[in-house]
Amino acid sequence: MNFIIKIFYSVVVNLLIFLSLLNAQTNNQHPDLVFPKNWSNPTILPDHVILTFSEDPSTTQSVTWRTNTSVKKGIAEIALADGAPRFWRNLIQYTAVTTLMNADEILTANISSNYHSATFKNLIPDTLYAYRVGDGEHWSEWFQFRTAAKIAKPFSFLYVGDAQNYILELWSRLIRQGYKTAPEARFIVHAGDLVNNAHHEIQWHEWFTAGGWLHGMLPSVPTPGNHEYRNYNTEEESKNISHLSYQWPYQFTLPQNGPDLLKETVYFFDYQNTRIISLNSNRLIKEQVPWLDSVLSNNPNKWTVITFHHPVFSGAKGRDNKELRNLWKPLFDKHSVDLVLTGHDHTYTRGQSPKAKNTITGLNKKDGATVYVVSVSGGKMYTLSEDLWNEYTDAKLDRKAENTQLFQVINIDGDKLKYEAYTATGQLYDAFDLIKRYNKGNQLIDKVKQVITERSHTNTIIYENSKKY
Ligand SMILES: [Fe+2]
Ligand SMILES: [Fe+2]
């Protein structure tokens, strides 16, 4: 009898070991999501509905959406939002500009769609509106958004680094947690690499599906990353030729106030006493200098936030961006830019450049230098280099992370900018305040003591070998 029990025990133990190995093997393989054929194809119904700013956010609001090519016209309707369900009795109708996106010949896009774009105008500042889009017969649901105030009222916005990989699988929870943490946020800054393969229609459909109706409620402020530049065909690939994501100008209706060759990737807008600037760190870096100098010189706003993709100070080995630092950072110093929001490194770093001199006031900005952030929101994670920012003699790193999906909430209230970074599970990971002090530079109040333990590859769930790295 004992023998039978021993045999039985041995079989059970071996079975358990086998199952655990099988489980580990499954985790190691963890395949990418597979979508049914035509999953990302447009239909006669509006989809990819997205708000963007193209003019003054206090009186205008742009909306863009996609249909299949059988839908030849687009209509957008807007009304003052009201608790009564027939608020739409007071609606105003706009005819959209409808444009064919013929991407049949574009590698990984292989699709034709119609894009419809409308800009609501003469809106009342700081007012809640409801809108819907369609063709007169087929409609979206009613979405709501609030216009910016004309005056410097407090507001918040979200900022995220690279979504890029496992977008529907993993970026979805991150951006939805962002909305839960900051439901009153007024817009989302996307610091490049929104997708992995610039023209890939399925990946864009993942991005729109992951964000869902948030894209129709919270305007997006996108800046392109290196992954928004790819070849159109295999011949171009061999010649190392790349183009901005084919979908970009069709699906994002953005300000036209940038340099001619970089329209809708380089632009700015003002929001309640804050100037938000998008630069293109992929192309014509030198050519953007005079434009940036002018936009920073003629800036009546109290706060200035700049976003682009490649970090000024990189925390990852072999990813330094010297040209960009040499050409753009002197302007950030000269004009006392408050915050620079970037991505690309698939890690988190935040710090300042304390030895920078303010060339206007001559003050040593020991306490008041521009704050530089790198963050990541999607599922691909790199490793921080061992010497981190030590190679930069004029910069000091204050907070870092590996292997962690993050979103940031930035609140601007008068003389105070409150910055918070959160993990995908809503835990506060980094925090500081900037306080405006005239002719002295900003005071930075670090709140790192109030946040969770630093996260790295060594104290979090193993990442290597579990997916493509
Ligand atoms: Fe990236
Ligand atoms: Fe990148």
- The ranges assigned to domains in the chain are 47-146, 155-450
**Does 440 have pLDDT greater than 90?**
no
pLDDT tens-digit series, residues 285-340? 999 999 999 999 999 999 999 999 999 999 887 889 999 999 999 999 999 999 99
H or E segment at 328? helix 322-334
Binning pLDDT at 50, 70 and 90, where does residue 393 land?
confident
d(CA 286, CA 231): 23
Which top CATH class is 47-146?
mainly beta
CA–CA gap between residue 310 and residue 302 (Å, rounded):
25
Q: How far is the CA of 175 from the centre of ligand 2 (A)?
A: 19
Query: Quick one: pLDDT at residue 365?
Result: 45
Nearest listed ligand to the Cα of residue 346:
1
| CB 258, CB 266: distance < 8 Å | yes
Residue 318 CA to ligand 2 centre (angstroms): 13
Of the listed ligands, the closest to the CA of 223 is 2
In angstroms, rounded to a whole number, what is the distance separating the alpha carbons of residues 146 and 97? Answer: 23
Question: Cα of 397 to ligand 2 centre, how many Å?
Answer: 21
Distance from the alpha carbon of residue 378 to the mean position of ligand 1, in angstroms: 9
Query: How many angstroms does the Cα of residue 64 sit away from the middle of ligand 1?
Result: 25
Q: What is the pTM of this model?
A: 0.92
Q: Are 194 and 278 in contact (CB under 8 A)?
A: no
Among 124-128, 141-145, 230-234, 318-322, the minimum mean pLDDT is found in: 318-322
- State pLDDT tens for residues 137-147: 999 999 999 99
Q: Reduce the DSSP state of residue 170 to 3 states and report it.
A: helix
Query: Would you say residue 366 has pLDDT above 90?
Result: no
What's the 247 CA to ligand 2 centre distance in angstroms? 18
CA of 381 to the centre of ligand 2 (A): 12
pLDDT-derived band of residue 24, with 50, 70 and 90 as boundaries? very low
Q: What is the percentage of the chain residues whose pLDDT exceeds 70?
A: 90
For ligand 1, the distance from its centroid to the CA atom of residue 342, given in whole angstroms, is 10
Cβ proximity of 280 and 224 under 8 Å: yes
Taking 90 as the threshold, does the pLDDT of residue 465 lie above it?
no
Q: State the Cα angle at 215 between 434 and 346, rounded to 5°.
A: 55
Lowest mean pLDDT among 25-39, 70-84, 411-425, 442-456: 25-39
CA 312 to centroid of ligand 2, rounded, Å = 13
Ligand 2 midpoint to CA 161 (Å): 9
Which of these, 341, 336, 287, lies nearest to 312 by C-alpha position?
341
Average pLDDT over the chain, rounded to whole?
91
List, for residues 97-111, the tens digit of each pLDDT value: 999 999 999 999 999
CA dist., res. 155 & res. 412, Å (int): 6
Cα–ligand 2 centroid distance for 164 (angstroms): 9
Question: What's the gap in Å between 244 CA and the centre of ligand 2?
Answer: 13
The pLDDT of residue 341: 98
Distance 106 CA to ligand 1 centre (A): 22
CA of 192 to the centre of ligand 1 (A): 7
The phi and psi torsions of 431 (rounded to 5 degrees) equal -160, 140
Ligand in closest contact with the CA of 167 = 1
Whole-number Å distance, alpha carbon 192 to ligand 2 midpoint, is: 7
Distance 277 CA to ligand 1 centre (A): 20
Topology match between the domains 47-146 and 155-450: no
* DSSP element (H, E) containing 406: strand 406-413
Cα–Cα distance, 176 to 282 (Å, whole number): 29
Distance 450 CA to ligand 1 centre (A): 29
When pLDDT is cut at 50, 70 and 90, the band that residue 264 belongs to is very high
Distances (CA, A) of 333 to 221, 352, 399, 431: 24, 11, 21, 23
Q: How far does the centroid of ligand 1 lie from the alpha carbon of residue 347, in Å?
A: 10
Counting ligands in written order, the one closest to the CA of 378 is 1
What is the Cα–Cα distance from 66 to 238, expressed in whole angstroms? Answer: 32
Show Cβ contacts of residue 92 under 8 Å, excluding neighbours closer than 6 positions. Answer: 77, 78, 79, 120
Residue 243 exposure: Cα atoms within 13 Å on the Cβ side = 14
Looking at 163-321, list the stretches that DSSP marks H as alpha helix, in order from N- to C-terminal side.
172-181, 201-211, 214-217, 234-238, 248-251, 288-297
Which-ligand-closest: CA of 319?
Answer: 2
Residue 217 identity (one-letter amino acid): M
pLDDT of residue 30: 72
> Which ligand minimizes its atom distance to the CA of 196?
1
How far is ligand 1, taken at its centre, from the CA of residue 114, in Å? 29
Domain 155-450 annotated CATH 3.60.21.10: yes
Distance 14 CA to ligand 1 centre (A): 43
Q: Enter the tokens of residue 20.
A: 């655990």
CA of 335 to the centre of ligand 1 (A): 28
